């Protein structure tokens, strides 16, 4: 199966306490699409300005990513600038310039509406609704979200959660969304809002997966000695998860296949943070993914996953 991925495509300026880089490829759809393409073809929907570098278009084309849904319009591409503190978990946004993304309306080209698996990467809930209104009976739909939409678009987000099969959000967002301090209670409460599955990302501490009939899986993060840039790690996780499902699920998507997808998403995220932007993801191949997956199984005692 292919994956339909709709989200932001950006140019980022990123500073850590050790290095700073400008004009990097970024955006939720960029990370998600390149990650998913390790497992399955991707139909990408997004928008860029006429300043978007040709080398990034070349990267997408080289990775089984179809660009019929990529809008290129006059103006400047969405730009984001941020700085990470020493712990690499604390981040300060320096500037945001929506530019052409401000008026982005996702339009699915012919054929995209029948893509079996849909990943609504982190964009406004109203835009995610707009995409769901265009797709035709997808087998599985995944939505990612963030604290901003919980704050300013709660009603739309509530309706969205009831329409998707899986919601992905991080631990602080899960607590904010539900008012629960316990992530277990938060995960169960979100499931009661509609989605069959909920994945709560915990950064360097892994991910919690909630399913029907009290099904639960706790996945640690792959241990890394060096983290250069955590930007896009969550989007890479979501893309890897979606791509793995598209390539390996048959019939109904079960909790068992989702556990494997979560681990593979975590593996891709571990590669992503080893370099700035998507530089590490550019060099990842199936052999490296399989090797790290087996190592992850061994050190985490996931032999049956």
**Angle 266-272-274 from CA coordinates, rounded to 5°:** 115
Q: Candidates 3.30.1490.20, 3.40.1190.20, 1.10.260.40, 3.90.1150.10; correct CATH number of 3-300?
A: 3.40.1190.20
pLDDT of residue 33: 98
pLDDT of residue 59: 97
Q: Enter the DSSP assignment of 7.
A: -
Instruction: Render 134-194 in DSSP notation, one character per residue.
Output: TS-S-SEEEEE--HHHHHH-HHHHHHHHTT-SEEEEEHHHHHHHH--SSHHHHHHHHHTTS
All residues at 6 or more sequence positions from 134 whose CB lies less than 8 Å from its CB, including other chains: 106, 107, 108, 113
| Per-residue pLDDT, 266 | 97
Nearest of 55, 50, 8, 5 to residue 28 by alpha carbon = 8
Which tokens sit at 166? 């899986």
Element of type H or E holding 207: strand 207-210
3-state class of 248 per DSSP? Answer: helix
Alpha helix segments (H runs only) across the chain: 28-36, 54-61, 125-132, 147-152, 154-161, 171-178, 183-191, 233-248, 255-272, 279-283, 286-300
Domain residue extents for the chain: 3-300
Matching residue, tokens 């191949």:
285
SS3 96: strand
Instruction: Report the pLDDT value the prediction gives residue 299, as an integer from 0 to 100.
Output: 86
Q: Tens-digit pLDDT profile for the chain (305 aa)?
A: 899 999 999 999 999 998 999 999 999 999 999 999 999 999 999 999 999 999 999 999 999 999 999 999 999 999 999 999 988 878 899 999 999 999 999 999 999 999 999 999 999 999 999 999 999 999 999 999 999 999 999 999 999 999 999 999 999 999 999 999 999 999 999 999 999 999 999 988 899 999 999 999 999 999 998 899 999 999 999 999 999 999 998 878 999 999 999 999 999 999 999 999 999 999 999 999 999 999 998 888 776 67
In what side-by-side order are the strands of the sheet with 10-15?
20-26, 10-15, 79-84, 91-97
């Amino acid at each position: 199966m292919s994956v339909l991925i709709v989200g932001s495509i950006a140019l980022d300026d990123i500073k850590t306490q050790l290095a700073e880089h400008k004009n990097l490829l970024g955006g939720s759809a960029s990370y998600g699409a390149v990650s998913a393409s390790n497992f399955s073809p991707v139909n990408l929907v997004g928008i860029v300005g006429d300043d978007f570098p040709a080398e990034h278009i070349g990267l997408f084309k080289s990775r089984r990513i179809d660009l019929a849904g990529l809008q290129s319009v006059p103006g400047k591409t969405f730009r984001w600038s941020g700085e990470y503190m020493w712990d690499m978990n604390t981040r300060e946004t320096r500037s945001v310039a929506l530019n052409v993304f401000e008026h982005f309306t996702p339009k699915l080209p012919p054929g995209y509406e029948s893509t079996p698996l849909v990943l609504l990467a982190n964009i406004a809930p109203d835009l995610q609704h707009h995409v769901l209104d265009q797709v035709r009976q997808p087998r599985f739909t995944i939505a990612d979200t963030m604290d901003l939409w919980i704050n300013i678009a709660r009603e739309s987000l509530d309706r969205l959660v009831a329409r998707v099969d899986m919601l992905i959000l991080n631990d602080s967002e899960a607590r904010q969304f539900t008012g629960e301090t316990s992530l277990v209670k938060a995960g169960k409460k979100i499931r009661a809002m509609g989605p069959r599955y909920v994945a709560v990302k915990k950064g360097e501490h892994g991910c919690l997966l909630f399913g029907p009939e009290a099904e639960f899986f706790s996945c640690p993060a792959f241990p890394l000695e060096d983290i250069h840039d955590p930007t896009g790690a969550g989007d890479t996780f979501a893309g890897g998860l979606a791509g793995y499902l598209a390539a390996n699920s048959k019939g109904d998507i079960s909790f068992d296949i989702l556990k494997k997808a979560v681990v593979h998403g975590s593996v891709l995220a571990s590669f992503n943070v080893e370099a700035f932007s998507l530089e590490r993801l550019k060099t990842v191949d199936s052999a490296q993914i399989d090797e790290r997956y087996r190592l992850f199984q061994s050190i985490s005692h996931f032999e049956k996953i």
